[in-house]
Structure 1
Amino acid sequence: MSKLKIFLSESLNPHLNLATEEWIFHNLDPSSQVLFLWRNDNTVVIGRNQNPWSECNLAKMKEDQVTLARRTTGGGAVFHDMGNTNFTFLSPKESYRRENNIQIIFDALKTFGIKGEASGRNDLLIPFADGPRKFSGSAYREKKDRAFHHGTLLLHADLMRLGNYLTPNPKKLQAKGKESVRARVANLNEISANLKHEEIVEAMIKSFENFYGGKAETEFLSMKSLHENQELKGQYETLSSWNWLYGNTLEFNQKMDEYLSLGFFDIHFKVDEAVITDLQIFSDCLYPHLIEAMTLALKGKPYTVDSIQQSFAGLYPQFVDLTSGLKELEAWISSQVEI
């Protein structure tokens, strides 16, 4: 019989929880059956190859103090709040069956009178009169000796907020790659009222142990764990870094235009790995030297508000008489860049 191991996160920090997944995947005994249960507070998690400027309303996220996180796995963008319970299974590759994990989840849900069904893709559904609705999405990965399956369970998530952060502002942004398809979703508490995270965790643990016929060793994780585990700390530092969150972005183009006191500005940015690799500024501004200086100052700089502001700081001494107009221009560009 495989050794059973359960990890329970006491932290709501998404970068720690995603780092824990990486540590589990790369460092744990591949012959073990592992279950990790966790949740994040106010977080948008994007897939490995997604563009945060395209998928997210970054300005709204900043305003509402919503954290951005990026998985190492593929898939679309999701919003996590305290109404989500997330699961991660690790199994030996030779004995891995997706159906086993689904059965563990379904057996846990039966405790609350919930009957789910699996779709042909990676989703778990609840049947409703107007058609099935998704309460869980998942993703998979594997190495030669282990298989990994993770996903989320919607307990009482604020589904209105989902649209607030996963719908970008209309900025005429053309990103390379497909946009995520939004599925019809439902919370489990629509079937079982007042369902709590602690209850689903307890039910998942019992179901996991019953399925494999043994008692699991349980370990609790928190931010203190970073001081005790160097591999975990290394994963955390990578997944919480600016370069991973924003720099790891495929090339995209952003167009912005506005009528300002200095004239009409139509700016085209070409951005690769969050760096402005090229830009064109079309304008009826009466100061062509300003346009040339702006182009030179911004090209090659990170695509961030701080970088934009630093670039403009170098322009003010050159165009003292245009200070008011420059401040307006800087504020407008910064509001479009968002981070």
Structure 2
Amino acid sequence: MPILVTGAAGFIGSHVCKALLDRGDEVVGIDNLNDYYDPALKDARLARLTGKPGFTFRKIDIADEQAMDGLRGEGIVKVVHLAAQAGVRYSLENPRAYVRSNLMGHIEILELCRNLPNFEHLVYASSSSVYGGNKKVPFSEEDRVDHPVSLYAATKKADELMSHTYSHLYGIPQTGLRFFTVYGPWGRPDMAYWLFTEAILKGKPIRVFNQGEMWRDFTYIDDIVDGIVAALDKPPASSVLHRVYNIGNSRPEHLGRFIDTLEKLLGLPAERQYEGMQAGDVEKTFADTTAMERDFGFKPRVTIEDGLARFVDWYRSEWKGGANSA
């Protein structure tokens, strides 16, 4: 019975598809292949999956009701919902894209799950951004999250509320995962680690916000995928059918140390251009992953040094150093 993965051409989605296929699952992947960033990267991710036994891809916008209804006959029993309009800063420029993809799209996923006859479990992407400007660290699932500081964060909190309602009304088993700054090979070019790497290699300055006084709970892609798959395999078994978990490294890194590590790996200095805090941004993220560890045995394995080294190797050899060089 196939597993539906939305955002299959995305960073996390493509890695999840590969992990599921490698263990023998059937996967139906969907993505609208939009141009928020270079579609060539999305095509390259898909190329790694195309031809693998058990993989089917369809170009579908999750907010398209008719297209989503067409998936009802696929025999889908589980869904990993990762498609979304990403990026905190872009939500300041194009808020309607977030309403369409993150709100309307999430509703269409819930409606699909509600109408699948043998449905077992929906795992969906939330975000650490729901914690807003919370000062108490580490961030716990028990903390209040009703003061988002960006529209992106507000849409992710709204998704959690909609999922809770659907689990209550229709008995749909669901697990929401609040991702903390995911990074690694085949990542997103709008993320700091990619932007910094590209700029340092070109000898251009990097923008360092909040005068460098930033901490992020960077979480390597392989650890994230392990957590997603573990959660997918273990639907809620109690009367509470909707759960939300932090999934992070639980070890915040100072932005200065992060840049130092990149400089060492690249063998080049970074020209740091210090600026104030950007609208919608937060100073620190820090995941309390106690619940994820307890319920799924989640334990991040990859350090920031190893994770960045793997990204730099990929960027130089497979992305910029190979057929995708520009």
| Higher-helix-fraction structure | 2
Q: Which has the larger radius of gyration?
A: 1
Bigger proportion of residues as strand: 1
- TM-score, normalised by the number of residues in structure 2: 0.26
